[in-house]
Structure 1
Amino acid sequence: MLKHFTLFFIILTILPTLSFAQNQDNVPVISYSATPRKYEIAEINVTGIQNYDPKILVNLSGLRVGQKLNVPGEEISEAIRKYWEHGLFSDVKIVATKIESGKIWLEIQLLERPRLSDINYYGLKKSEVETVSEKVAMMKGSQVTPYLITRSEKYITDYFVAKGFYNTEVRVVQKDDTTQVNHVYLDITVDKKEKVKVRSLEFLGNTVFSDSKLNRTMKKTNAKGKIKNFFRTKKFINETYQEDLVAVIDKYNEFGYRDMIIDYDSIAKNDDNTVDIKIKVEEGAKYYLGDISWIGNSIYPGEYLSAMLRLKKGDVFNQKLLDERLFQDDDAVHNLYMNNGYLFSNIQPVEVNVYGDTIDLEMRVYEGKQATINNIVINGNTKTHEHVVRREVRTKPGQLFSKSELIRTIRELSQLGHFNPENIQPDVQPNPEDGTVDLVYNLEEKANDQIELSGGWGAGMFVGSLGLKFSNFSVRNIFNKESWRPLPTGDGQTLSLRAQTNGKYYQSYSFSFTEPWLGGKRPNSLTVSAYRSIQSSVSDSYYSNYNSYFSSGSYGGYGNTYGYSQYDASDFDQHMKIFGISVGFGKRLTWPDDWFSLYAEVSYQHYDLLDWQYFIMQNGVSQNLHFKFIFSRNSIDNPLYTRRGSNFSFGVEFTPPYSAWIDKNYKSLYNTTISGDTDERADAQEELYDYIEYHKWTTQGSIFTPLDKSEKLVLMGKYEMGFLGYYNEYVRSPYEKFMLGGDGMSGYSMYGSQTVGLRGYENSSLTPRNRYGSYDGNIYNKLTFEMRYPLTLQPSAQVYALGFLEAGNAWSDFQDYNPFDLKRSAGVGVRIFLPIFGLMGIDWGYGFDEAQVQGSNGSQFHFVIGQQF
C-alpha cells in the first residue's frame, strides 16, 4: 500500500511539471499519452540550493550526462524518490528545459528543508533542559527534518519515562525565523504529568517465600506508603518492572525451584496516577543435585574438578551458584583452564537425568589446545612512556594465556595512578587457527600531578602553603628541552615539594623523590626525602590562649608551675627547629605471595630547642637516628575508589639502645628533671635526651567488600594499633608520640609526633598528657567502619559520599591500656578527587564520649586534604 501511494505521489509530482512545460514558449512538449521515447542526457543542472555542492546533488540522483533514458520513464521517478528518501528537501522537481536531436537537457529543482535557528523548551527545569539538549543533539544551523523531530520526541519521552513520568507528552512546533531566510525555531513543550507510582504490590500462590521476601527481591518496584520501603524506589517503570519479575524467578531458582513460573501479572491503573500490581506464581517442586560426572577432561581428573566445584550430591539445585562455581568466581572451575592457557576451553553442564526431585548433571568439557600470547599492544599512553606501562604488564609475548595474570595486569595499571582505572578494559583477540591470542590494552591517560595553594588569616597571623606533586616525573629528561611540557614527564617517578609558613611563628619545607623501578629492571623503589621546620615567637593571640588554658589548671594545676604567666611574648629567640632526612628502599616480594612487599628506611632527625616552654624538653639538642621496616600486603583493586581487596601492614621502628652503651647515671638525671631547680632541670633534660632512643610498633589493616551487584556500594573495615616502647625506663622518648583525634592533619614535624585522626573530636584531644602538660600518647587503638557510594567516577572528578562509625583511644602507660575503653563517633562525609588538587573532603562527625580535653567532643567538622582516614 505504501509503495502504491509513493508511486502515485511521484506521478502527481512529475505530471504537473511536464504538463507545465507544454504551455511555455520554446519549451519541449512531452505527452504522457504518447509512447515513451529514448533520449540521451546532454546536461543536468541543479537549482534552488545554497548549502550543497551541485555536483554531489547530481550524483545523488543517479543520473549522469551521456546516459540514455526513456521519457517518460522509471529513471526520472527513481531519481525523485532518492531525493525524498534523504529527507533534506521539502520539494523536488525534475523538468526538461530542452529537447533536440535525440538529446535532453534536465533541470533538477530542489527546495531545501529549513535550518534550525534555536530550540526553546517549555515545562522543564534548567537542569532538565541541559540533559534533554544533550539527548536531542540538534545543533544550530542543522537541517530540520521530520525524522529529527520524531527522534527528539522519542528521546525526550523515553528519558522521562525512565524517571517515572510514565504519561509524559511531548509536542514540537515549528515556527519561521523572520530574521533569516529558510530558518525556523522549534518550540518543544514537555508535559511530564505526575510520576506513576505503585500503590499496591500483591503476590498470589506463594508459599515458599513471604510477600515481604518477594517484595524485597523486587528492588525497583515497591509499593508506596510503607515504612519498610521508605528508602526504596516506588515509581513504576515497565522496563525495571520486567527486570524485577526476572529477579523473582531467579530467587526461586536459587533455592531449587527450577520449574517456577509467573502464571500471570496484572497492572491496573488508578485515577490518582498509581497502579496496582498483582503477580501470580506457580512455585513447582524443589530439586536437588544428583550425580555429577565429567567427560572430555584430560588435564584435570574429575575428582579434582568436583572438589573445585564445591557442589555435591544432595545439595539444593541452585542454577546461580552452579554458574558462579563454574565460570564467575575467582577460583571457578573454568578458570583452572583459563589460567593454564586453555583460552578456547568450555564447560557445558547438561541435565542427563531427572527423576523425582533429583537432577543428574554431566559436565561436558572441551579443553582445546593452549593459547600462546602473540602480540601485546598498548594504546592511549599519550604521556606515560611505554616502558613504564610494559613493565607492569604480567602477560608477556610467548607465555601461555592466563586470565588471572590479565586481571592482575589491570590492577597494576590502575595502581600506577596515570590512567583512568574505570576504563582499563583489555581487548582479548583470540586466533584459533594458530592457537595464539593478541592482547590490546586500551588506556586513558588522566592528569595526576597535584598542586596545593592555600592562604588565610587567623590568630593575628597569615598562614600560607604551596605544595607541588609531580606523579609522573622523568629525571633522565631534565636536560632535554623538548621534554619540558611544562615539565619532563613519563617515567613514573614522583617528585614532591612543599612549603608552609606564617612568617614569625612557623615555617616548614619538605622535599621527596621516589623512583619506583630502581635500575629499570626490577620493581624495587628508592625514596629520598628531607624536611625542615622552624617554630618560634608565638603570636600574641596564640600566647594568650595558651597561657590562659594552662593557668586554668586543666592538667592538675601544672599551668603555673613552670612560670608560663611570666613568659615574655616579645622574646622571638625561643624556637623549636627540626631537620630530617631519610632514605628508603622498597621491594616487591614473591613469598608468601606476590601481593607482599618490604620497605626499609634509615632516617635522621635533629631537634634544636631554646626556651621551648610548651614541650617536655625545653632547651638543648636531640638527635634521632632510627631504622624502619614495614612488611605489608596490598591487594586493593583501585587506589582512588576501592571496591575489593585488602591492605595490611606491620611496621617496626627503632633506634640504637644508647643507654646500654653510654656510661651515665640516667636515673639521677631523670630525677633531676622532676625535682631540680630550673637550671638543673634544663641541664639534666639536655643531657638525658641528647640521643633519642625508643622502639615503635605499628600495625593496620583494611578490607573492602562490595555490597551490591554493580559494586558501587562498598563497605570498608579498618583497624590501627601503635605502641611506643623504651629500652630504659628513665630515658623515655619525648618524641614520636601518637596524637589521636580530629582530622589527622596536624603535621608530623611540628611536635615530632605522629598524628592519627578520629572524627568527632578536636585535634589531639584524645591524647593523654604528662605532668608537664605535654602530649604523652604511647599506645593507641582505632577501629573504623565506612560505607561508601560513588556520585561520579569520571577522570575529571571522582566523588563519593560516605558514612562512618569510629572508635579509638590513646594511653600513656601499658598498665592503663584497655582495648575496650574506646571513644566512639559517627558521621557522614564526602571525598572529591580532582587531578590537579588531589584528594579533598569534608566530614561531619559526632563524638559520643568525653575527651581528655573537656568539651572537645560532640559535633565537629573536619577538612581532609591529600589523605584518607
Structure 2
Amino acid sequence: MLMKNVMLILFLANANTLLAQENDTVKVEKPAGVPVVSYSSPKEYTIAGIEVTGCKDYDDFVLIGFSGLSVGDVISVPGSQITDAVKRYWKHGLFSDVKISASRIEDDKIWLEIHLKQRSRVSQVNYNGIKKSEREDLESRLQLKKGHQITPNLADRAKLVIQKYFEGKGFKNVDVEINQTDDLSHEGQVIVDVNIDKNEKVKIRKISFRGNEALTDSELKKAMKKTNEKFNLSRDFKSSLLEIFSTKKFTAEEYEKDKKNIISKYNEMGYRDAVLTADTIRNVNDKTVDIDIRIEEGRKYYLKGITFVGNTHYSTDFLTAVLNMKAGEVYNQKKLNERLISDDDALSNVYYNNGYLFFSADPIETDASNDSIALEIRIQEGPQAVINRIIINGNERLYEDVVRRELYTKPGMMFSREDLMRSVRELAQSGHFDPERLVPQPLPNAENGTVDIKYDLVSKANDQIEFSAGWGQTGLIGKLSLKFTNFSMKNLLNPNSYKGIIPQGEGQTLTLSGETNGRYYQAYSIAFMDPWFGKKRPNALSLNAYFSRQTGISQRYYDRNYYQNSFEQSFDPDQSFMSLGGSVGYGKRLNWPDNYFQFSATLNYQMYIMKNWNSFLAKNGNSHNINLELRLQRNSIDNPLYTRRGSQLDLSVALTPPYSLFDGKDYAAMDDQDSRKFKFVEYHKWKFKAKFFSPLAPSSVKRTPVLMTRVEYGFVGSYNKHKKSPFETFYVGGDGMSGYSGAYGTETIALRGYENGSIAGSDGPETFGYAYSKLAMELRYPFLLEPSSTIYGLVFLEAGNAWKDMKSFNPFDLKRSAGVGVRIFLPMIGLMGLDWGYGFDVPNYGGKGKRNGSKLSFVLGQEF
C-alpha cells in the first residue's frame, strides 16, 4: 500500500501539465456550531486535526499530503494557506469538486475537514466511425484506457492526438466528439464514446513553382514522391500509370519530406546552393488545397577534382575507381552519397567487407571557386575488427548449434558486412524465423578493436498441414500432407525430447503424404531430408519412397449412351496402373563459381505395373526406371516467402543406362504392346529453370513491388528411336496440380489460362509432351508481411507450349495467357492462391478450334 501511495504522489506531482481546473464552486464552509469567522479580521489558528472525506481510492495521508497542510501548522483564517491548498487539488486534476471546512474551532486550535469528489474512471471505451486497424493504432497512442480517470485535459489531448493522426493520413477536417455516460453497472465509472467523422481527404488541386529555370515544373513534381496533384485527364493524358495512380492526398509530414526531395533533386543536378525561399498552402475549400513554392536555384557546379587523404589499406587509384566520379562531371551530391555509403559496392562497404568496421569517409569541399568544386575525401580507416561473440536471442525452435552452423559470422573471424548479410539470408531461408524482422546488430568495441554481433530472432511456426482437394478424371481427389520442418531423427527413440508429437530441434524435414479418390486412385509417400548430414558440413541427404495405384474406367463411360453415368458404374478393376519407387540423394554446397551454388546427385528407382492400361504405348507388363539425376542449382534469393531480390537457377539431367546399345535386342521389330520392349525404360531428360527477382523500390521500403521473370525448358530424348520412353514426359497446362499425372510417371507443368493437360504434345488422347517451353513475367505487390501470414497480389503474363519430339520444338510457337492472382502463406497450411487467367490461343488438345478464354486456377502447397 505504501508503494502504491508513493507512486500516486509521483504521478500527481507531474499531472499539473495535463489537467485543468473546472468551473466548480469552491467553498470554505462554516459548519453549524462553529464560531463566526471575520473576513475583515483574519485570525491565526494551529491545525489540530485534518480529516478527508468523499475519496475512498487513496489513503488519507496521501490526500492530506496533496494539500500542503499538516497538523501543527499555523494558518490564518481566512488566509492564503487554505486557498493554496484548494489550488493544489485542482492542479492534480483528479477531483471534480473540492471543499475545505472547519469542523471545530476551540481557542486558537482548528480542525479541518477536506471533502473531495473524485473524477470518474473509465469502464469502457468505444470508437465509432473508424476501421479496426485505426482503432488499434489510436489505442496505443491515447491514455483512454479502462481503469484510468478521465479529465478534461485528457479528453482535449485525445482529440488533438486523433486529429493529428488522421491528418497524417490526409484527413485535415476530422471531427472528434468524446462523450461520457454513467456506467449504471459500475458506480463511479463512465462509458466513453469516441465519435470520429473523418470527412473526405484533403487533396491537392494544383502545385505551382516560381523561380525554377533549370528544372521544369513536371520534373519538380516527379521529385515530390507523396505530394501530388489531383488527376486531370487533359493535363495528365501523357502521364505514366505510376503518376496517374500515385497518392494525391495532402499531409503536412509528407509535404515536408517532399520539400527536401526537391532540394535533393537540385543537388543531384549540380545545383548545390538551391533553396526554397518560400512556400504557401492555400485552402481552396474543405476538400482541396493549392501549393505555391518559390525556388532560388543558384548556379550549377562541376567537379574540379577529387583527392583522398588518410587511406593506407587501399590505393588512391583503387578508391577513385570505386567512387566512379571524375573531374569535369556535374557535382552530383546524391551520387556522391550513394558511392560513399548506400550502394552495395560503395566505398564504405569495400572497407566494411574487409573488417574496417570503424571506417569513416567525410567529403570536404576544399575549393568552391566560380562553378567548380574540389573535393577532399578524408578517410579514417581505424583497426580491422575481429568478431568476439555471437549473441542469439529469440530462438525457440532449433538447437543452438543448428542456428550457429548457418552463420557466416563466427568468433575469431574478421568482420565482413557481406558475411553478415549472408548470415541473415541463410537464417531467412531456414524458414524458422520471421525474415521481415531479421536485423542483425553489430556491437563494436573501439577500445580493443572487436565486435559482438547480436541476432534478435523472432521464431515462427514452419510445420505445415495441407488438406486439399482437386478434380481428376474420376472426380474429387482428397489430399492430406504433414510436413515437419524441424524434425530430429537422432531423438526418434527418445520420447523425453519430443515437442508435441515428434522430436524436434535439428532442422530436418519429414513429409508424410496421402491422397485418394476412393478405389479409383490412391497415392502415399514419405520423404526425409537432412541439410547437414554428418553435422560437420552442409551436405544434404534426402530419402524418398512412394506408392500409387490408379484403377481404370470402362469404355462404356465414353460411349454416348453412358457418358452421363456415374464413375461408380464405370469402374473397371481389370484396368490398373501402379507405380512404386524410392530415391536417395546427396547434395553438396559449392564455393565455385560462388558459394550460392549446390550440386546434387540422386539415384531413383520406379517400377510401373500396368494391366490393360490404355494411356501409354505399353499396355501390360512391368517397367523399371533406374536413373541418375545430376543437378546444379544456384539460389541467391533473400526471402523464401516474399522475395525481393536474387535469382534461382536449376540445371538438371536424368540419365538411364542405354540398354538398347548393349542388350542386343531388335527394338524396331518389336510391337509397342510387347511387354519386353519397355521392361527397362531408357531416356535422357534435360531441364533448365531460371527465376529472377528485381525490386522496383529502394530496400528501405518494406512493401516493395517486385518484378519476377521466369524461363523454363525441358526435353526428353532417347538413345534408340524405336525405344522411346512412354514415361518421364511433360503434362502441360492448367494449375499444375493434376494428381493423376504424377501417378502416370510424367511431370506436371502449369500454364495458367488453360485446362489441365490441354497444351499437349500432339492433338489426341496422348496429351504428354517430350519437349516444353515456358516463359512468364509477374508483377507482385505485398499486402501483408507478418509472421502469422504473408499475402501478396500479382499480375502475370505467361506463354508456353509442348511438342511431341525435339524435331517439332519451336521456341516462338507459344500459347499465351495473362491474368491476376493472389497468394496467401499461412505457417500451418503453407502456400495457397487463386489465379484468374485468360488464354489467348487455341490449345493443342480439347479446344475445339477456339481460344481457351477465362480460367480459374487454384494453388495449394506450390508456386507456379
Shorter-chain TM-score: what band?
Answer: 0.7 to 0.9
Counterparts of 1:539 and 1:455, CA distance in 2: 24
* Residue 515 of structure 1: how far off its partner (Å): 1.1
Letter in 1 for 2:748: T
Determine the structure 2 residue equivalent to 1:269: 283
* Residue 322 of structure 1: how far off its partner (Å): 0.9
Letter in 2 for 1:857: N
1:217 aligns with 2:223: yes
Partner-residue secondary structure (3-state), 2:270: coil
Counterparts of 2:352 and 2:60, CA distance in 1: 59
Counterparts of 2:362 and 2:860, CA distance in 1: 52
May I ask how many residue pairs the two structures share in their alignment?
826
> Closer, same or farther in 2 for the Cα pair 1:776/1:301, shift >3 Å?
same
Determine the structure 2 residue equivalent to 1:638: 639
Which one of the candidate residues 226, 232, 244 is aligned to 2:246? 232
* Residue 662 of structure 1: how far off its partner (Å): 0.6
Determine the structure 2 residue equivalent to 1:33: 42
Which one of the candidate residues 672, 681, 694 is aligned to 2:683? 694
> Closer, same or farther in 2 for the Cα pair 1:74/1:745, shift >3 Å?
farther
Letter in 1 for 2:758: S
> Closer, same or farther in 2 for the Cα pair 1:34/1:541, shift >3 Å?
farther
Q: Is 2:27–2:100's contact at 8 Å kept on the other side of the alignment? A: no
Determine the structure 2 residue equivalent to 1:496: 511
Letter in 2 for 1:259: D
Residues 195-344 of structure 1: pairs in structure 2 closer than 5 A = 195-227=201-233, 228=239, 229-271=243-285, 273-344=287-358
Residues 49-88 of structure 1: pairs in structure 2 closer than 5 A = 49-52=55-58, 71=75, 84=90, 86-88=92-94
Deviates more, 1:183-192 or 1:91-100: 91-100
Determine the structure 2 residue equivalent to 1:563: none
1:89 aligns with 2:104: no
Q: Is 1:719–1:782's contact at 8 Å kept on the other side of the alignment? A: yes
Q: Is 2:576–2:610's contact at 8 Å kept on the other side of the alignment? A: yes
Determine the structure 1 residue equivalent to 2:829: 837
> Closer, same or farther in 2 for the Cα pair 1:455/1:775, shift >3 Å?
closer
* Residue 324 of structure 1: how far off its partner (Å): 0.9
Letter in 2 for 1:418: H
Counterparts of 1:628 and 1:466, CA distance in 2: 28
* Residue 111 of structure 1: how far off its partner (Å): 2.7
Which one of the candidate residues 472, 478, 501 is aligned to 1:464? 478
Determine the structure 2 residue equivalent to 1:392: 406
Q: Is 2:352–2:359's contact at 8 Å kept on the other side of the alignment? A: yes
1:757 aligns with 2:772: no
1:807 aligns with 2:808: no
Partner-residue secondary structure (3-state), 1:425: coil
> Closer, same or farther in 2 for the Cα pair 1:139/1:272, shift >3 Å?
closer
Counterparts of 1:485 and 1:62, CA distance in 2: 62
| TM-score, length-scaled by structure 1 | 0.87
Q: Is 1:90–1:111's contact at 8 Å kept on the other side of the alignment? A: yes
Which one of the candidate residues 20, 29, 32 is aligned to 2:30? 20
Residues 695-844 of structure 1: pairs in structure 2 closer than 5 A = 695-709=684-698, 710=701, 712-747=704-739, 749-769=742-762, 773-844=765-836
The superposition leaves residues 128-169 of structure 1 with CA deviations (integer Å, 9 ceiling, x where unpaired) of 667656655633443222343123212321233233221222
Q: Is 2:269–2:332's contact at 8 Å kept on the other side of the alignment? A: yes
> Closer, same or farther in 2 for the Cα pair 1:100/1:462, shift >3 Å?
farther
* Residue 857 of structure 1: how far off its partner (Å): 2.0
* Residue 230 of structure 1: how far off its partner (Å): 3.3
Determine the structure 2 residue equivalent to 1:592: 593
Deviates more, 1:540-549 or 1:246-255: 540-549
Q: Is 1:543–1:569's contact at 8 Å kept on the other side of the alignment? A: no
Q: Is 1:537–1:572's contact at 8 Å kept on the other side of the alignment? A: yes
Determine the structure 2 residue equivalent to 1:553: none
Letter in 1 for 2:42: S
The superposition leaves residues 642-662 of structure 1 with CA deviations (integer Å, 9 ceiling, x where unpaired) of 011111121111111111121
The superposition leaves residues 484-535 of structure 1 with CA deviations (integer Å, 9 ceiling, x where unpaired) of 3243222211111111111121111111111111122211111111111100
Counterparts of 2:631 and 2:788, CA distance in 1: 34
Q: Is 2:224–2:262's contact at 8 Å kept on the other side of the alignment? A: yes
> Closer, same or farther in 2 for the Cα pair 1:581/1:284, shift >3 Å?
same
Counterparts of 2:479 and 2:65, CA distance in 1: 67
Determine the structure 1 residue equivalent to 2:417: 403
Counterparts of 1:174 and 1:508, CA distance in 2: 64
Partner-residue secondary structure (3-state), 2:572: coil
Q: Is 1:460–1:539's contact at 8 Å kept on the other side of the alignment? A: no
Determine the structure 2 residue equivalent to 1:506: 521
Q: Is 2:557–2:563's contact at 8 Å kept on the other side of the alignment? A: no
Unaligned runs of 5+ in 2: 1-13, 234-238
Unaligned runs of 5+ in 1: 550-567, 674-681
Counterparts of 1:431 and 1:506, CA distance in 2: 65
Partner-residue secondary structure (3-state), 1:350: strand
Deviates more, 1:346-355 or 1:52-61: 52-61
Letter in 2 for 1:470: F
Determine the structure 1 residue equivalent to 2:188: 182
Partner-residue secondary structure (3-state), 2:486: strand
Deviates more, 1:69-78 or 1:309-318: 69-78
Counterparts of 1:343 and 1:32, CA distance in 2: 79
1:352 aligns with 2:339: no
Q: Percent identical across equivalent pairs? A: 48
Counterparts of 1:285 and 1:212, CA distance in 2: 20
Partner-residue secondary structure (3-state), 2:300: coil
* Residue 574 of structure 1: how far off its partner (Å): 1.1
Counterparts of 1:798 and 1:572, CA distance in 2: 45
The superposition leaves residues 723-751 of structure 1 with CA deviations (integer Å, 9 ceiling, x where unpaired) of 11111111111111112211112246222
* Residue 337 of structure 1: how far off its partner (Å): 1.9
Letter in 1 for 2:424: I
Partner-residue secondary structure (3-state), 2:318: helix
The superposition leaves residues 682-704 of structure 1 with CA deviations (integer Å, 9 ceiling, x where unpaired) of 2x2x1111101111111111111
Letter in 1 for 2:508: Q
> Closer, same or farther in 2 for the Cα pair 1:538/1:753, shift >3 Å?
same
* Residue 572 of structure 1: how far off its partner (Å): 1.0
RMSD: 3.5
Counterparts of 1:305 and 1:349, CA distance in 2: 13
Counterparts of 1:546 and 1:245, CA distance in 2: 77
* Residue 477 of structure 1: how far off its partner (Å): 2.9
* Residue 214 of structure 1: how far off its partner (Å): 2.4
| TM-score, length-scaled by structure 2 | 0.88
Counterparts of 2:65 and 2:455, CA distance in 1: 43
